[in-house]
Structure 1
Amino acid sequence: MEKIFVGVVAGAADPEVVHAVRAITDFIYYAHFETHTEESLTNLEDAWEAFHKHKAVFVKQGIRESFNIPKLHSMIHYVRSIRLLGSADGYNTEGPERLHIDFAKLGYRASNRKQYVQQMTAWLERQEAVRRFEAYLDWLEVSQRDAEETEDSSDDEEPEDDVEIEEIEESEMATQGSLRTTRCTYKIAKKPPFPRTTIETIVSDYGASNFVNCLQDVVQYAVEKSRHPPVPPVNGNTSIPVFKQFKISLPLMSQVSQKASLDTVRAIVAKPARGRHPFIPAQFSTVLARESLLSQTDLEGIGDLVTGGNPLAGFTVGQVRVIFRLPSEYGGLASLAAHPLAYVEWFTPFQVRDEHVVKSRGHAISFRCGAAT
């Protein structure tokens, strides 16, 4: 709106008024510059000096008694501030208006209305001291919480010295018609953090409701296949060594990245709140797994699956509920004891999309017992 001020007063007001209005308008427009040069800053100073030279006309004509206005006083610092901090593009003197209530009205109301300036000053200093102390307490609380979370997560992130690296398999993967060798490994703690977990805990806390039946079926299958002497049945007194997580190196996919990625599979129960420790939700990783190892014939047919068939053939999705080793009494079953095992709740298998089916179907949980290593 100020762009019309000079045109409004020109020829209708005292020449001194016109000079003052033009000077303050020039100052406002120079202050709006996004970038400044020495010339523009000099013009800004000249406009400010011209306004001060002619502003007395408003006092002479009884329009104002004085110019003790904080916003006018702040304008004398513009040139120095711009030189030190950069242009004032986007700055508005109305920005701190909200502080008038906090610093003036509330301070005045807290006084006894006598010598209120000193009382308001003391009140503001006390408010600032309280805010500084609150900021310190917030910083201290965050620092303690970070330290506690680091301590809590120390068991999750196993140190390299306490991790064993096992070679899962060495297989040939087909990529765009050519075969290349990909070595997959996994890392897991040498000692399980929960070496004597009861069956009851696994069923209740880990949600592995069918754990006993599945483990018993797998053990029985291994006994029959290896002609191993009968082993004690799995029962409520059986203690299971349980892990929190393991890390697996995924095959290199040159289409995605030139670096092999490391994926972490977790099966961690919820941790209730205790004292200052907040509640930590459970973590049960969802995995895309291959149902069985591929033979050389399967490998040669991967290209056909990707190009013309179902690219998800042989894969299924499940949720890992428990990562464990066989108890010591089953150590003789070499086929199962060589690697840690996982109890996985499989979702319904993938299906080729039926274009005639409009309504989508959710995945249900199914229990299919088998050894996942």
Structure 2
Amino acid sequence: YTQLQSHTPKTLRRLQESLNTFHSHKDVFIDLKIRKHFNIPKLHALQHYVDRIWALGSADGYNTELHERLHINFAKKAYQALNRRDYTSQMTIWLQRQEAFALRESYLDWLDDTLTAEARAPPEPSYPDVTVTQLETINGASDFTPAFTRFIRRDMPRCGILPNRHDHFAVFKKIMIHLAKNRYLSATPRKAQIRTTPPILARGCSPGTPAHFDTALIIEDPPSYRTSAGIEGLRVGQIRAIFQLPPQYGTYPHPLAYVEWFTPFNQPDPTTGMYTIQRSS
């Protein structure tokens, strides 16, 4: 009766009578030990056919392909990925991991336009007049002038002058990184702080403070990082200086940073599973 393209109260009554007849005699299969139970989704769905046809019309435009597709994705594939031992619990774990992968993938897709976190420097630099010599000796930015020269040639091609050792820079001692929202990690906005603080000498009763130059995981290759869901595309760097572009070279939308790179990630240690890196030469 469910295959009819149109129904009347009579056909729906016959449909309900057929269902009642089946339920009144189905226990014979259990008595003969042909089946242990009838907890089958399709049989459960039969109980709703009459009500749904009254509410939505005939069922000739519906099928069970969606459920059969899900049976392949959530049951057959899960079972094929296992060693056939304690398969119920293993299939549950497998499905949880597939859901975690799907959530991570959808999050990265959403994050596509906001892959780089927003960095905000303080309104005013902490050290407004720092020389190149101070950056090299106090901050440890040993190759500052060559690196800054490469930046000017590459990113400021219309600039008619090149850096020299007489330049002065406005330097920040920290910046705040406003991380992209991730509802799977925290409901509140998250921040990270990167400090580039030179040492403070002891004076009188005040003890000195050692230098503090933070390291960070930096997105070196955005396309690789976006698709890897891991550390691919990332590289460790130590930030030695955060500074403003001097006005004689033009304007830039955000502060610049001098980064001392570490070697890229290779294969993890076979014993510890951890990566070994060192400062790039």
Per the TM superposition, whether the score is higher than 0.5 is yes
Q: Verify: 1:347 aligned to 2:275, yes or no.
A: no
Whole-Å separation in 2 of the counterparts to 1:235 and 1:277 = 36
Alignment map for 1:1-373 (pairs within 5 Å): 175-178=103-106, 179-181=109-111, 183=114, 184-224=117-157, 228-231=158-161, 233-294=162-223, 299=226, 302=227, 305-306=228-229, 311-331=230-250, 334=251, 337-353=252-268, 355=270, 362-366=276-280
Call closer, same or farther: CA 1:237–1:257 in 2, change over 3 Å: same
Call closer, same or farther: CA 1:359–1:314 in 2, change over 3 Å: closer
Whole-Å separation in 2 of the counterparts to 1:294 and 1:246 = 25
Call closer, same or farther: CA 1:180–1:360 in 2, change over 3 Å: closer
The unaligned stretches of length 5 or more in structure 2 are 1-101
Equivalent residue letter for 1:241: A
Cα deviation digits, residues 319-340 of structure 1 (max 9, x gap): 1100001111111xx5xx1110
More helix by share: 1
8 Å contact kept, 1:317–1:347: yes
> How far did 1:209 drift?
0.5
Instruction: Give the secondary-structure state (helix, strand or coil) at the position aligned to 1:271.
Output: coil
Whole-Å separation in 1 of the counterparts to 2:123 and 2:256 = 14
Equivalent residue letter for 1:206: N
Greater relative CO (CA pairs within 8 A, separation 6+): 2
> How far did 1:196 drift?
1.4
Whole-Å separation in 2 of the counterparts to 1:326 and 1:273 = 31
Cα deviation digits, residues 127-174 of structure 1 (max 9, x gap): xxxxxxxxxxxxxxxxxxxxxxxxxxxxxxxxxxxxxxxxxxxxxxx9
Equivalent residue letter for 2:141: A
Equivalent residue letter for 1:177: E
8 Å contact kept, 1:247–1:265: yes
> How far did 1:242 drift?
0.6
Match of residue 93 from structure 2: none
8 Å contact kept, 1:223–1:230: no
Instruction: Give the secondary-structure state (helix, strand or coil) at the position aligned to 1:180.
Output: helix
Equivalent residue letter for 1:268: T
Count how many residue pairs are aligned between Structure 1 and Structure 2: 175
Instruction: Give the secondary-structure state (helix, strand or coil) at the position aligned to 2:241.
Output: strand
8 Å contact kept, 2:269–2:276: no
Instruction: Give the secondary-structure state (helix, strand or coil) at the position aligned to 2:149.
Output: helix
> How far did 1:220 drift?
1.2
Equivalent residue letter for 1:312: I
Call closer, same or farther: CA 1:273–1:354 in 2, change over 3 Å: closer
**Which of 1 and 2 has greater Rg?**
1
Call closer, same or farther: CA 1:359–1:265 in 2, change over 3 Å: closer
> How far did 1:253 drift?
3.4
Call closer, same or farther: CA 1:261–1:325 in 2, change over 3 Å: same
Whole-Å separation in 1 of the counterparts to 2:136 and 2:130 = 11
Cα deviation digits, residues 4-37 of structure 1 (max 9, x gap): xxxxxxxxxxxxxxxxxxxxxxxxxxxxxxxxxx
Cα deviation digits, residues 90-141 of structure 1 (max 9, x gap): xxxxxxxxxxxxxxxxxxxxxxxxxxxxxxxxxxxxxxxxxxxxxxxxxxxx
> How far did 1:282 drift?
1.0
| Runs ≥4 residues deviating over 6 A | 357-361
Whole-Å separation in 1 of the counterparts to 2:272 and 2:122 = 47
The unaligned stretches of length 5 or more in structure 1 are 1-173, 368-373
